[in-house]
Amino acid sequence: MSETTKTPWGILTGIRPAKLATKLLREGKTDKDVMDYFLNECGTTPEKAALALETAKAEMPVEDAMDKDGISLYVGIPFCPTRCLYCSFVTCGTRQAAKLIPEYLECLKKEIAFAGKLTADNGKHLETVYIGGGTPTTLSADQLHELLSQIEDSFALSSCKEFTVEAGRPDTVTAEKLKTLRQHGVNRISINPQSMNTETLHTIGRAHTPDDIRGAMELARDCGFDCINMDVIAGLPGETFEMFRYTMEEVEKLKPENTTVHTMSIKRSSRLHEYLGDYALTDGAQVETMVDFAYRYMKELGKHPYYMYRQKNQLGNLENVGYCKPGTENLYNIYIMEELQTILSVGCGGVTKTVDPVKNKIERIFNVKEPQDYIARLDEMIDRKKNMFEEL
């Protein structure tokens, strides 16, 4: 491309740039060939071409080691203490929806039991589990025990390499809950500050402080967690580069094994989109400065990019990148983002994705998004999965 590119990613519009880099490498292309393709055919910047190449090279050994008869399980918990300004997920604040949780869990347990039977009947092995939401740790310790016990009863976990639970809100993290997770074999959690600036946390609707984040990390270490992810967002309303750099530096003082750097996205169903004129958005050039700093900073600390994806309406048309210490890659993130493995999803908002590498075919089954609808239409969710797997 001879013209100056308008965005760092040039003409690329797909959400998985690393998938393209992987395809080229699998075809026998050299690193230089891949870089040239991104630069000349796609019009990306050298930095983005290098990011795609690095990410692909981190993902390929994970794909090669993947259980070819494996599947992953996603469990959706659609409850949060509050709804963040930028959030588009269907989540229910626990104050309003607490009365729904017991009935929701009963329905979820039924779908998990069905999913376990479906997995066994199809000769598949459970390779990873990811419990997300929402914020799963809005559940009580007893409710978490109930949920995790159902997973243990429904699946053969001897083949499970990775068991992740999002403990994203530090104000939902307690020693009792963390010990419950550990007792059930959970070996990876996420504690997600998004920002370490008090004023920003207030702006985005978080009910915790930076010190709460530090305390939750200390508690998690005391409970034996040695693989923790922390999420941050570049381009939060009102934040400057200096504020973002402060967040990164404060997060890394806590020494998480994984750090995921998201770029702010203006999602259509978020409160931010609804009241867009009330907030000072960070311009694309400054957000690009933030994510470029994050890339260099992570490299200085010995972390490499291991998965990446892009979303609509991201500031600066940028990307989200997961960085990790060598050997702590989150398998589930790679499998789902690069569409490498069947993901069996249960609960609200879950999207089951069946991957057939032989036929090069991917099918999707969508669960409903609202807890009330899920409770009312559970049998329909189960039948959808049953019918699809019968056709495979």
The full 3-state SS of 94-141, as one line of letters, equals HHHHHHHHHHHHHHHHHHHHHHHHHHHHCCCEEEEEEEEECCHHHCCH
Q: Are residues 88 and 220 in the same domain?
A: yes
Q: Is the dihedral of CA 269, 79, 369, 115 positive or negative?
A: positive
CA–CA dist 135, 170 (Å, integer): 10
Q: Are residues 165 and 39 in the same domain?
A: no
Q: Are residues 299 and 157 in the same domain?
A: yes
CATH, residue 136: 3.80.30.20
Q: What is the pLDDT of residue 224?
A: 97
Q: Are residues 31 and 168 in the same domain?
A: no
Question: For the chain, what percentages of helix, strand and coil (3-state, to nearest 5) are there?
Answer: 50, 20, 35
Q: What is the pLDDT of residue 5?
A: 42
Domain boundary among 7, 30, 63: 63
Report the Cα 105 to chain-centroid distance in Å. Answer: 22
Per the CB < 8 A criterion, the answer to whether 210 and 198 are in contact is: yes
Encoded tokens for 242: 């200096």
Q: What is the pLDDT of residue 3?
A: 42
Strand 258-263 and strand 320-324: the pairing is: antiparallel
Residue 34 located in a structural domain: yes
Encoded tokens for 256: 């998480």
Domains of the chain: total: 2
Q: Are residues 46 and 188 in the same domain?
A: no
Residue 5 located in a structural domain: no
pLDDT digits (tens, 9 = 90+) for 119-160: 999 999 999 999 998 899 999 999 999 999 999 999 999 999
Amino acid, res. 78 = P
pLDDT digits (tens, 9 = 90+) for 242-287: 999 999 999 999 999 999 999 998 766 676 666 667 777 889 999 9
Residue 156 located in a structural domain: yes
Q: What is the signed CA dihedral for 60, 65, 66, 69, rounded to 10 degrees?
A: 140
Whole-number Cα distances in Å, 294 to 129, 254, 288, 305, 308: 28, 16, 10, 11, 14
Amino acid, res. 380 = E
Q: Are residues 105 and 23 in the same domain?
A: no
Residue 133 located in a structural domain: yes
Residue 367 located in a structural domain: no
Residue 275 located in a structural domain: yes
Q: Are residues 228 and 83 in the same domain?
A: yes
Residue 358 located in a structural domain: no
Report the candidate in 342, 344, 348, 343 with the shortest Cα–Cα distance to residue 378: 348
Q: Are residues 74 and 56 in the same domain?
A: no
Encoded tokens for 267: 């999602």
Counting as low any pLDDT under 70, the low residues of the chain are 1-5, 85-86, 88-96, 267-269, 271-276, 391-392
Q: Are residues 137 and 232 in the same domain?
A: yes
Provide the domain limits for residue 53: 17-63
Q: Are residues 313 and 190 in the same domain?
A: yes
Residue 390 located in a structural domain: no
CA–CA dist 240, 238 (Å, integer): 7
